[in-house]
Amino acid sequence: MNTTRALFSVLIISLTTQWNFAQDEEEDHDRLLATVNGVEIHESDVIGNLAGSAGIPEEQRGKYIEHALKQAIDNELLYQAGIEEGLDKDPAYLEQLEMQKRMAVHREVEGLATFYEQTIEELRTARDRDAITDEECEDYYAENQKRYKGRSKDRALRIIRSQLANKRYRDVYAEFFIGLVKETTCSVAGQSIPTDVLLESAERSLNMSESRSSDADPFWVAVLDAADVDLPEPTTRPPGQIDEELKKTLGNITVKIGKDEVTLGDNHQIDSLVLSVQNGRLGQELFYLFKPYIVVQKAVQDGVDKDPAYLEEKEQMSMMTGAGMGGGMGYDKRLLVNLVVQNQGFYKIENYEVTDEEIESYSAEHGHRYERLRQRPNGEERVLKMITRILKSQKAETAKDDYVTTLRESGDVQIQE
């Protein structure tokens, strides 16, 4: 145990140095840090997930990296335990994994759309609150002074500046997006969706339409019509229960936006789309789903998807959403680790007992933090519940740590020098 701890300390010192100078040492890039039952954990599995930690003070960075490496090892042990138990074949796991894959695809489209919008000079300028003049704020205040009754004039003017900037941005964005919609082609089953339909739905999504919110969204209606799908009779199912036959029908619909084809059944929002149709409420959810695809057509046309700045941001987002719990985990590992932890029941805190002595000891050490809460109605009772929950949560963490320690001791964990 002492040897492992010593090796860990040497490695962390090396990693902390490497964190500062990694760009200068290409040959050391992605070196091996540890093995867990033969599975290698590399530097990119640890440091690669710390891209957002550049602002961490130097004196804290070593501990941060140490925690990340320990977490990587622990997660690998839990993942391997899940594989041994056959949880990677569990239907619940496979369903969640498929959902995560669908969400990843949509997140990538949304990411490119957002990045592209941030490159548009008119949109960037419209976001600038400082571009709103004092005169504009004063004029608006003079005309709408009653709205700000009870606020000081200075406070009202600050609010007005934000409101005017937001309105200007909405107006500029509306013009930008409507322009993209006019250039967009859309079809379902080879049948074109008229531009007028897309424009009407776009205006509704931008609050530019006088249509009532209860009116069926024209894009929904056009898609169902093109796919030859009739609206079902009003459902008698319990709230939230999915009509599986309808889900299968809608899931087979493929919408083509520009060059992109999206099959509804492959989208992570399919259940909410089914509920909208079976409840007879054809709102804007379908058009909102395809809004980023409309923006992306122009982004790809302008070559933004090849922009080095976008590719770097995409990589960083991939690390943040894929790494999740640290240690280079993609969502497949993350989900399986969560399933192992769930099956072990560590966080069913109602299963843990807390003694009066433990509560008294915790209160003696930390009770000063809850003085204000104690002064409120039923304060003592609320403090007692809070402390009890904290202690149970600590026991849950200890139970998980003990389980991982058992996996470590029964396995082969090697920290590299």
| Predicted local confidence at residue 390, as pLDDT | 94
Does the pLDDT value for residue 212 go beyond 70? no
**Distance from C-alpha of 83 to C-alpha of 183, rounded to nearest angstrom:** 49
Does the pLDDT value for residue 4 go beyond 70? no
The pLDDT tens digits for 111-145 are 999 999 999 999 999 988 888 999 999 999 999 99
8-state DSSP, 236? -
Q: Are 258 and 293 in contact (CB under 8 A)?
A: yes
**Distance from C-alpha of 108 to C-alpha of 116, rounded to nearest angstrom:** 12
The pLDDT tens digits for 290-345 are 999 999 999 999 999 999 999 988 877 766 555 434 445 677 888 899 999 999 99
| Predicted local confidence at residue 187, as pLDDT | 96
The pLDDT tens digits for 148-190 are 988 999 999 999 999 999 999 999 999 999 999 999 999 999 9
* 373: Cα separation from own chain's centroid: 33
Q: CA end-to-end span of the chain, whole Å?
A: 15
Q: Are 48 and 68 in contact (CB under 8 A)?
A: no
How many residues are given for the chain?
A: 417
| Predicted local confidence at residue 196, as pLDDT | 96
Does the pLDDT value for residue 26 go beyond 60? no
**Distance from C-alpha of 371 to C-alpha of 386, rounded to nearest angstrom:** 13
Which residue bears the tokens 């989900």? 335
Which residue bears the tokens 């058009």? 287
Q: Burial of 197 by CB count in 10 Å (0-12 exposed, 13-18 middle, 19+ buried)? A: buried
The pLDDT tens digits for 235-257 are 677 777 888 999 999 999 999 99
Tell me the average pLDDT of the chain: 85
